[in-house]
Each structure stands twice: as structure tokens, then as C-alpha cells.
Structure 1
Amino acid sequence: MNIDRSTLFAQGGIFPVGDMYSLQTPSMESTTYITNTPDRLLPIDAESLVANYESPFEGLYYGGVDTPTTKQAAQQIAQMEKGEHAVLTPSGQSALHLLLLALLKPGDHVLVGDTVIYTTRWLLEYFKQKGMAVEYFAPQEAHALRTKLRSHTRVVLWETPGAYTYELIDSAAVIEACNHHPTLMVVDNTWSASTFSFPLEMNVDICILSLSKSLAAVEGVSLGALITRRPEIFKIFKQTSALIGNHVSSHVCAAALRSISTLAARLHAQQLSTVAVIKYLEMQHSVVKVLHPLVQHSVSELAKYSIDGYNSLITVQLTHEKKTLVRQLGLLRVIRIGYGWGGTVSLATPIVMDNNSSAQRMNITGTCIRLYIGLEHPNDLISDLRRAFFDTSSSLRKVDQ
């Protein structure tokens, strides 16, 4: 039965309770599971870790590996990404760490799209110090990526749209280049919120998610995931996860599923607000550039990149000097200043673009503002932006006061 994504999200927390069902997945924290008969105690081995059980109450032997709650969350997140298996981690960054630790050894070569978020670069630099070879490629090089593949290339990793500038990488071209090479293809699919793009359908091997963003941010919890359709890769991730003590809280997983239940409605409202805010920003004389996939590409062009929709992250380049920009940020009252994104509250974050490869290609330097559009009324957001950045007399008067 084919159901809409909004239905899948809304009902993702339904949980079996005997012959009945709970509408929300309960948080079932436990480290030890006991049984009345020794033959019911599962062996601690690789096969038990990855066995496919229909019920979240089956296949349990130690809470540090899985609980009914974590099993339910992993199953739902895999389904959302149109995958078969998911391994949960405490954060998106820890998901990337688990991926690199499980798949790579010193001397291996990794190709990385240069539009990845800076924290991904930082972690790759750490692994580079441990003997891993890291090479970056620009979106324009996707069609010629075959020439960059080496015999010891183990992973090709990219994020599209890219961080801050939302530059697109042609995933189909990357996949085509890698088709006859044993490298594993990995996409950070956080931006798409398990809604706008499905790399696993395109034969990408692994998706990384920071669930701390759109999916679970409403509950304020940190969670990440690695999702795949390939059982042999799932087995490697699950074994490595158990060996390093990668444990996620049942409380966090239950909270994430509650947040996901409203995801479709939130994204719909945010898309409408995003369009309104972009239109306002584009009319302001002191705005140099507005960066968002909807600005840089038409809907039909996005479809060619297998992207159907958009989230509410916008980067704005203004004529203001950094000192003025920082001062005016302090005048915001509805939009709050902070890191992160994905929850109900709109956020503004100053970002320095000088060392961003993608920004350099767009001739963007200095400090820009990244806006995350939450669930406030768009008129309130626009009024707040006008008062802080574009109504000069009002801004000066408030600073003097």
C-alpha cells in the first residue's frame, strides 16, 4: 500500500503493546534483560546483532546494544530514508565518525565534495592525521570524477545542497563515475529532512543523517543515523557500533519519534514562510545576494538533481560591514541568535565565508547571515528583519537608547 510521506511520519511512533497499540513509542530504558529459561538467552555474536526481527521485543539481550525503543526508532528512520537498515548514534557527527572508523584504515583514500559542512572537514582532518588520504572535489568536477578515483579509494562522500551556499552536486554524475569502482558512495542527506531527496533510491550505498536538525530538533535532542540497503554494510556498522559502546538513549529515540510525527506539517508551513522571506529580502537594496536552492534554481532544475522541495535555510550577504552587521543582529527580537536549526524557533547565525570553497566560487567573502525560518508567522519574521537591518532610522534610534 502506497501512503503519503505525511502519513508515514504521523504514524511512525505507533508501538505494539500486547494486542493493542500505543500512539507513541514509550521510552524503555534498560541495560539488562532477563529470561526464565537459559535457552531463551541470545548468544552475543554478529548474527544476533543483525538478525531481522519483526517485533521490537525480539532480539534483545543487552540495553547498551538495543532496547525496544531504539529498535523501533531505527526501523522507522530506515523506512523514512527508503532504506532497509539503520544504526543510530548520539549525533550526526558521531554517525560520520562511526562510518569512517568502520570502513577505513590508514592509507585508504577518500573523495569528498568540497561543499560539506565545516565539522565534517574537521573530522576528516583528524582521520587524515591517522594516515587516511583525503581529497576534495568541486561540484563542477562531478562529471569527471572517474579521473580522481584511485585503486585505494574506499569512500566517496558528498553533501548536496552544500552547507551555507546550497551549491548542488550532481549525484547522478557521481554515481555514474563510481559504478565500476568498488568504492562506497555516501551522502549526508540531513538537508532533505528525509523528504526532498532519497539517495538510496539512486543506488547510493549509505546515507548519513543528523536527526538533531529537522527531524528531532523540536524535542531538543541529539541523534544521528547511518542508513543503508546493504545487509553486509549494516553488519559492519552494527558490529563496530557495539564494539565501541555506541549507545543511544531510549528517551532520546522516543522524543525523536514524537518530533517526526509533525515533520510534514512543519515543513509545509516553513516552505511557505521561506518563500515570503526570500521575496522580501530580494527587494532590499542593501542585500547583495540571497542564497537558497529556490533562488539559484527553478523547481524543474532542482528535479533534475533529484530534489523535490526545499527546507528553510537561507544565507544572506549584505552590504553592511561586520561591525554593523553584528550590532544589528542584536536588534532582532523574534528571530533569535544561535547555532543549529530545525526546531520551531527562527534563528540567525553570523558565518564567516572567507575560507568556504563554495563561497569563493560565488565571489562571496566576509560575514554573512544564515537564517533558519521556523514556525513563527512570516509577517512577524519580515517585520523583525526590517526593524533590525533595513529600517535605518529605527535601528539607529534603538542603538542610541
Structure 2
Amino acid sequence: MVSPRDDLDPATLLIARGRSNDPHVVNPPVYRASTHLSASCAELAASAARNADGAFFYGRRGAPTQWALAEALTALEPGAAGTVLYPSGVAAIAGALLAACRPGDVLLVTDNAYEPSRAMATGLLKRLGVEARFFDPLDAAGFAARFCDRTAAVLLESPGSLTMEVADVPALAATAREKAAAVLIDATWPSPLGLHSLAHGCDIVIQSLTKHVGGHSDLMMGACSAGPDWYPRLRTVAQELGQVVSPDDAALALRGLRTMAVRLERESAGALIVAEWLAAQPEVAEVRCPMLPGATGHALWRRDFIGGCGLFSFVLAPGIDQEARARLIDALELFGIGYSWGGFESLALPIDPHRIRTGAPWPAGQLAVRLSIGLEDPGDLIADLARGFAAMRER
């Protein structure tokens, strides 16, 4: 694989890293192999001992297609020593939490966390003897008081993938380090192109590659990148759990990675145009888009982030009920109704955060809609939303 210097612009690294060793082809071949052969018993023993990307041993440890993707992702995260791949974003979250927590530990979880992260903290980890405690991600001043002598790790998510709170990641990470707790962050929203999480004090960076990296809504994958202190532990736990990704999916992720910078740029620009239009609608109480000037979290986003994406939410005005919200969404023609985000197509989803919030409650009557802006023309998307609002007004 080509290994250019690391001081290149991230948009260039997306193209230059994780490439083929063969000078005659652009893309690394897809290695579909469970069995890796050795020339001798001595080579087999050496391969078993050298447990690292690039060492052939057995398909569960990966092969050149998976190694190319991991190498490219590592290059995008300043300070990373390596990247572990997982078959889904939730699997990556599980791998990070299981690497950081042991029975008897306390895990602090941001209250705006992805719902499967919450379920894992209160389900799987609870059954394993780990106690989860939820905290308000915007209360940096009171964060230190949340720690006890059993607190082993903190799980952050900024912005939150439903309600878009932007946490003061450097401040929260600094407090956690003072308390000798590991800092994990789900940084799927910004991707490494939008936030250098390790440089801001985090220990493990989690991504759902299903979203921005894949970019085409046709694969499931996750990743964790970490520095030299945590990467070996992540790798060990992933291997103990038998985590492996398909080489065909790794090839799709590599293909998506090459265009991620231009897709994110267009999605972000389109999202900002749509968000500005929504902010002027009388039925919208608040647009929760960190990129929008004046929006909640915008100042922190400008300070810490170097990019955005097409995902944001808007809160409907008081008095609008669920039936009216459903009329708005059902009338949309260009927005699909479904989960996930980061693909080329736009999506709309009704969200009710009050069902899951505990540390920073969300009012039960505050209805919201989450939009994932794709690559369509923003003017067409606005016209589609205008039709949706017109349908919502009908009785």
C-alpha cells in the first residue's frame, strides 16, 4: 500500500492511503480467503506471533483489503496507532466499551447518546457488572462531581445524533483524564474530517462506517481508532469476540472513503441552506443544527470542529401533535423515511427523545424531526419540505 507522508491535507490522504501495492492497479484487490497458507512451520509460527495488520495468518485477522481500509482510517485520525474494523457501528461501540470496562466499574454515558449505546450500557454491560450513569453533556462545570473511585470510562457523543448537543469535548476529556478515566467518543457525525478527537483528549474514537464512509446506504461497518495505549487492547478484545468484516464490504467502504470529502462538503452546504429555510418557518420552534449561526452549540462547533455533515434536527412549535408531524413527513417525496444517515439520499425521521433521556430530560410534548440531507439540490429539498408543511397545516 502506498504510504505518503502524513502532513498532507485530509482530502488528499483520503485518496492516497490504503492503496494497492501493485503499481498497475488503483484499488487493492478483494482478498476473499479464510485460509492463509504458510511456506513452512517456522513461517506459520512467526505469523501467529506477529499479530498485526499486514501479517497473513488466518482470515479472521483480516487480509490486504481490510488492512488497506484500516490503514487509511488510521491516517485520517491524528495520533492514532491503529484502527480496528467491526461488522457494524454498534459492534464498534460494544468493542470499545468492553475494552474499557470491567465488572465493578462505573461508566459515565452522555445523555444524548445513540439509543443502542444507551441500551448496551443498561443491558449488556449491566449484566456484566458495569454500572452506567448518565450525565448532561452540556454541564461541563458539574462534570467532575459525576466521578467516583470506580469510574473507569466516559462515553461521549458530539454532536448527539438525535438532538445535536455539542459538548465541550476538550474540557470533558481533561476532567476525565484527571480522574484517570478513559474517554470514548462516538464521532460518527463529524467523521475524522470534521473533528480530530484524539487531539482533543479522547482515547478511543468510534465511527459507524455505515454512514459517511460507506456513503451509499449499502453496507454495515464500524471502526475504532486509538493511540498506542488503547489500540492493542481494542484489537485483543475484537479478536476474542471473533469480530471480522467482509472483504467485499471493506472494498465498498474504501470506495466510499475516496469521495467522502466532496460528499460531506456538498451535504453540509445543502444542510445549512435547508436549516436556514426551516428557521424562518412559523411551525418550527428551533433548528438544532450546529453549523447554523446562532444555533445551540454553534460557538463550540466553530471552536473545535473543522467540518460538518448533513444531519440535523428541528423542533416543532408547541401545539403541533404527532398526527400533524406524520402528515408533514408522509407528504415528502424526496426524503425517504428511515433510519441511518450519511448516504447520498435525504432522509426524514420523527424523533421523540423524551423516551430515553434521564440525565438531561427532554420535554415530552416537544416533537422533533431529524433530517439527513443528501446530495440532492437543496432548492428541490426545500420545495419538498414546503409541500410537507402545507400538508401538515391541513386538518
C-alpha distance in structure 2 between counterparts of 1:205 and 1:178, whole Å:
11
Match of 1:6 among 7, 11, 14: 11
Could you say which residue in structure 2 is the equivalent of 1:303?
302
Counting only pairs closer than 5 Å after superposition, residues 307-318 of structure 1 correspond to structure 2 as 307-318=305-316
Could you say which residue in structure 1 is the equivalent of 2:348?
348
Could you say which residue in structure 2 is the equivalent of 1:77?
73
Could you say which residue in structure 2 is the equivalent of 1:106?
103
Unaligned runs of 5+ in 1: 397-401
What do the CA deviations read for 1:112-154 (whole angstroms, capped 9, x no partner)?
1111111110010111133211111112432332332222211
1:49–1:239 Cα contact (<8 Å) kept: no
What do the CA deviations read for 1:202-235 (whole angstroms, capped 9, x no partner)?
23211111111111132611111111112x4222
Is the counterpart of residue 182 in structure 1 residue 185 in structure 2?
no
Q: Which range is displaced more, 211-220 or 65-74? A: 211-220
C-alpha distance in structure 2 between counterparts of 1:156 and 1:72, whole Å:
30
Q: Which range is displaced more, 362-371 or 3-12? A: 362-371
What do the CA deviations read for 1:44-91 (whole angstroms, capped 9, x no partner)?
75x5224xx6xx4xx111011111111111111111122121111101
Match of 2:32 among 7, 29, 35: 29
Question: Percent of aligned positions with the same letter in both sequences?
Answer: 27
Could you say which residue in structure 2 is the equivalent of 1:157?
155
TM-score by length of 1: 0.89
Could you say which residue in structure 1 is the equivalent of 2:60?
64
Match of 2:171 among 170, 173, 191: 173
Q: What SS does the aligned partner of 1:277 have?
A: helix
Q: Which range is displaced more, 70-79 or 97-106? A: 97-106
Counting only pairs closer than 5 Å after superposition, residues 246-285 of structure 1 correspond to structure 2 as 246-285=243-282
Shift of 1:182: 2.5
Could you say which residue in structure 2 is the equivalent of 1:48?
50
Cα distance 1:392–1:125, how it changes in 2: closer, same or farther (>3 A)?
Answer: closer
RMSD: 2.3
Q: What SS does the aligned partner of 1:26 have?
A: coil
Unaligned runs of 5+ in 2: none
C-alpha distance in structure 2 between counterparts of 1:141 and 1:156, whole Å:
14
Structure 1 stretches of 4+ with a deviation exceeding 6 A read none
C-alpha distance in structure 1 between counterparts of 2:364 and 2:193, whole Å:
30
Q: What SS does the aligned partner of 1:49 have?
A: coil
Cα distance 1:167–1:308, how it changes in 2: closer, same or farther (>3 A)?
Answer: same
Q: Which range is displaced more, 211-220 or 183-192? A: 211-220
Q: What letter is aligned with 1:349?
A: L
2:44–2:57 Cα contact (<8 Å) kept: yes
Q: What letter is aligned with 1:88?
A: L
Q: What SS does the aligned partner of 2:139 have?
A: helix
C-alpha distance in structure 2 between counterparts of 1:32 and 1:380, whole Å:
51
What do the CA deviations read for 1:252-275 (whole angstroms, capped 9, x no partner)?
111101001001111111122112
Q: What SS does the aligned partner of 2:178 have?
A: coil
Q: What letter is aligned with 2:301?
A: L
Q: What SS does the aligned partner of 1:293 have?
A: coil
C-alpha distance in structure 2 between counterparts of 1:286 and 1:229, whole Å:
46
Could you say which residue in structure 2 is the equivalent of 1:385?
385
TM-score by length of 2: 0.90
What do the CA deviations read for 1:347-379 (whole angstroms, capped 9, x no partner)?
011111323539966757343211110000111
C-alpha distance in structure 1 between counterparts of 2:369 and 2:279, whole Å:
14
C-alpha distance in structure 1 between counterparts of 2:136 and 2:287, whole Å:
21
1:114–1:137 Cα contact (<8 Å) kept: yes
Aligned length: 384
Q: What letter is aligned with 1:7?
A: T
